[in-house]
Amino acid sequence: MRMDKVRGLQHIGIDLDSKNRFKLLKGYFNARYLFPNNEVKVYETQHGHHIEILGIMSDLTARMMLCDDNERIWFSEQRMHIFKRDFDDVLFDTKNGYKREEVNVFSEEW
C-alpha cells in the first residue's frame, strides 16, 4: 500500500465489490461527469474494481454518490471521528496476496 493512500492525499477512492460491468461503467462515467478535470483510473481487484479520481481531496459525500462500499464508508467515518481527521480513504494495492491491476474500461470483454 502506498503511503499517500494512508493519509488520504489527493484522491477519491471507490471500492466496487462486484464484477458487474454495468456498475463499473456507471461508476466510471459518474466520476468523469462529477470531476471532468481530474484523471480517473480503474483497477481490477480480486472481488471487483477500484475507481480512483486523482488530484482531489477525498470526500465522503462524493464516495457515497459514487456507490462506494458501505462498510468502507462506515469505517472511514469511524476513523475520522476517532482520529479527528477531515478525510480517510484507504485502497489497498495488494490484499491477501492479490495485486490489483489497472484496466481500460473500454477494452474490457463483456
pLDDT digits (tens, 9 = 90+) for 74-106: 878 787 777 777 666 666 666 656 778 888 888
Instruction: Specify the pLDDT at position 38.
Output: 94
Bigger pLDDT: 110 vs 16: 16
* Pairing of the two strands 40-44 and 49-54: antiparallel
Give the SS3 label for residue 37.
coil
How far apart are the C-alpha atoms of 110 and 104, rounded to whole Å? 13
**What are the cell numbers at 59?**
470526500
**What are the cell numbers at 24?**
463499473
Instruction: Specify the pLDDT at position 67.
Output: 87
Lowest mean pLDDT among 1-5, 17-21, 59-63: 1-5
pTM of the prediction?
0.77
Flag whether pLDDT at 6 surpasses 70.
no
Beta-carbon contacts of 101 under 8 Å, excluding residues fewer than 6 positions away, are 43, 44
Model confidence pLDDT, tens digit, residues 40-82: 999 998 889 999 999 888 788 888 899 888 888 887 878 777 7
Give the SS3 label for residue 63.
helix
